[in-house]
Copies of this chain bind each other. A is one copy, B any other.
Amino acid sequence: MSKEITPRSQDYSQWYNDLVLKSGLADYSAVRGCMVIKPYGYALWENMRDALDKMFKDTGHVNAYFPLFIPKSFLSREAAHVEGFAKECAVVTHYRLKTDESGKEVVVDPDARLEEELIVRPTSETIIWNTYKDWIQSHRDLPLLINQWANVVRWEMRTRLFLRTAEFLWQEGHTAHATREEALKEAELILDIYARFAEEFMALPVIKGIKTPNERFAGAEETYCIEALMQDGKALQAGTSHFLGQNFAKAFDVKFLNRENKLEYVWATSWGVSTRLIGALVMAHADDDGLILPPRLAPLQVVIVPIYKGEEQKNMIDEKAVSILNSLKQAGIRARYDDSDTARPGWKFAEYEMKGVPIRLALGARDLQNQLIELSRRDTREKFQIPIDNIVSAVNDFLAQIQHSLFERAKTFRDGHITPADTWDDFERILNEKGGFVSAHWDGTAETEEAIKEKTKATIRCIPLNPVAEKGNCILTGKPSNQRVLFARAY
């Protein structure tokens, strides 16, 4: 095989890069930190987007589109927000180029300087709340349940394909409510949607929790999150949903007349998931031979490969394969018949394994005689002889089984990597030797959180929702604590 992937055991990080590049998900670009999402990666993103979009719409949300640019002064309005966000971003200072005196080079026209610089949105709370001011007067204008699919830019210094890129694609929901309770309920509803999406579509088990004040979104009063575990034992934040209180309403002076005819500030949430999820999907399921994609999101669910000698066999197989292909497609299964003559079956097998296609069907002349077809599962590599007449229902069954078993496998791994620690030695040893989440007591202070991070590089990933009340002592300071929290090293 020409496309070799570095084994996980040798270099996990290189394994990930090899996979993303060689499976055709993404490529580097000429612009520092920005990636090209290749057709295969984008098809995966479209499936993720469509599934999420339906969940949002089913719960009453609508899409809209707000400007790419944010006036610089908007960022100063919400004090915590600017501290956390405004710093590393792309700044537009001019609006025109011109040809230089040599007539050969293009240069920035110094006469075309903007009066106020524009920031390429790193997130859109400010521009959206500045707009909501015009849209909200009365409680009858509420709730506003708006989502946006967009690109955003954060000038990250160290970037990794999908996981951390300067530009990425995401959705950002921005809702406005008449009451605190309703806004909190919205933030929790979205967290549930994210968790369901991760588990049911991505086959990725997640832990729902809240962030410590340290790790909160800049400008939020509460940040809900879902946390997932990768195969190398590092955690990955897969989605966040923020209860913003009245912070942005106050910053942009957005008030409404409530039912008692009194002016009141509006309550807000914001929430987002991004193309980062593709990185999570890769790292959660893939192996040393390539991607393993969950059937519900796989751009291609089934590939049919013909195995033949000579024209005559090819023609016979073609006919049957096309008829199988059509039956699969009619049943709504994303399938392709790869009869290209430029590669041998073995090469194709490796190629579709690399691409993580859940099911491969191989059809040879002898199979045809026996009215059988060979079905291979990408996840377990098991092979089955399936009666051709029964192929559609068998494929449907296997797709459901694969989806289920990917989730179970990831869950078993994840559950096996939530380890309680009650002494500092255990805590450090688990982090260094086993990885995963360490469930430990914490005294609730930012100082301790920071100290643990400095000593171990582990952060508090979340304070799990619906915790078991359990008194104990902080893993570092020994001070009293009422609940365990989850620590991990993270992406």
Q: Give A47 to B444 CA distance when docked, in angstroms.
A: 50
Q: Give A436 to B70 CA distance when docked, in angstroms.
A: 40
Find out whether the CB atom of A29 lies under 8 angstroms from the CB atom of B119: no
Distance to closest chain B CB from A188 (angstroms): 23
Q: Main secondary structure on chain A at its contact with chain B? A: mixed
Interface residue tally of chain A, by bracket? 35 or more
Partner of A91, one of B29, B68, B75, B94: B94
Identical chains bound together, number: 2
| Given A42-B62, A43-B62, A72 and B97 contact (CB-CB distance below 8 Å) | yes
| Given A43-B62, A64-B42, A89-B96, A71 and B120 contact (CB-CB distance below 8 Å) | no
Chain B residue nearest to A165 (CB atoms) is: B67
Q: Give A444 to B23 CA distance when docked, in angstroms.
A: 51
| Given A31-B127, A71-B30, A65 and B169 contact (CB-CB distance below 8 Å) | yes
Is there a chain B Cβ closer than 8 Å to A76's Cβ? yes
Partner of A75, one of B29, B106, B131, B167: B106
Find out whether the CB atom of A86 lies under 8 angstroms from the CB atom of B106: yes
List residues of chain B with CB within 8 A of the CB of A408: none
Is there a chain B Cβ closer than 8 Å to A337's Cβ? no
Is there a chain B Cβ closer than 8 Å to A36's Cβ? yes
| Given A30-B127, A86-B97, A91 and B65 contact (CB-CB distance below 8 Å) | no
Within 8 A of B (CB), among A97-114: 97-99, 104-106, 108
List residues of chain B with CB within 8 A of the CB of A91: 92-97, 108
Partner of A39, one of B62, B89, B97: B62
Q: Give A29 to B64 CA distance when docked, in angstroms.
A: 13
Chain B residue nearest to A76 (CB atoms) is: B106
Find out whether the CB atom of B92 lies under 8 angstroms from the CB atom of A97: no
Find out whether the CB atom of B90 lies under 8 angstroms from the CB atom of A95: yes
Is there a chain B Cβ closer than 8 Å to A153's Cβ? yes
List residues of chain B with CB within 8 A of the CB of A118: 31, 90
Contact with B along A3-46 (1 / 0, CB 8 A): 00000000000000000000000010111001111110111011
Distance to closest chain B CB from A109 (angstroms): 8
Q: Give A96 to B41 CA distance when docked, in angstroms.
A: 30
Partner of A92, one of B46, B92, B96: B92
Q: Give A120 to B118 CA distance when docked, in angstroms.
A: 12
Is there a chain B Cβ closer than 8 Å to A410's Cβ? no
Is there a chain B Cβ closer than 8 Å to A69's Cβ? yes
Q: Give A96 to B169 CA distance when docked, in angstroms.
A: 21
Is there a chain B Cβ closer than 8 Å to A491's Cβ? no
Find out whether the CB atom of A64 lies under 8 angstroms from the CB atom of B90: no
Q: Give A52 to B73 CA distance when docked, in angstroms.
A: 39
Partner of A67, one of B31, B46, B146, B150: B31
Find out whether the CB atom of A64 lies under 8 angstroms from the CB atom of B39: yes
Chain B residue nearest to A37 (CB atoms) is: B65
Distance to closest chain B CB from A40 (angstroms): 8
Is there a chain B Cβ closer than 8 Å to A342's Cβ? yes
Distance to closest chain B CB from A391 (angstroms): 25
| Given A31-B69, A38-B64, A106-B82, A92 and B95 contact (CB-CB distance below 8 Å) | no
Find out whether the CB atom of A31 lies under 8 angstroms from the CB atom of B120: no
Is there a chain B Cβ closer than 8 Å to A134's Cβ? yes
Is there a chain B Cβ closer than 8 Å to A396's Cβ? no
List residues of chain B with CB within 8 A of the CB of A39: 62-64, 146
Within 8 A of B (CB), among A333-378: 342
Add 14 more A-B contacts to A39-B146, A68-B151, A88-B96 (CB < 8 A): A30-B74, A30-B130, A31-B127, A34-B67, A36-B67, A38-B64, A65-B169, A67-B167, A72-B97, A76-B106, A82-B99, A92-B93, A93-B93, A120-B120
5 cross-chain pairs, A with B, having the tightest CB-CB distances, nearest first: A34-B67, A39-B62, A37-B65, A91-B94, A95-B155
The 9 listed contacts between A and B (C-beta, < 8 Å) are A31-B69, A38-B64, A39-B64, A67-B167, A88-B95, A89-B96, A90-B118, A91-B92, A108-B117
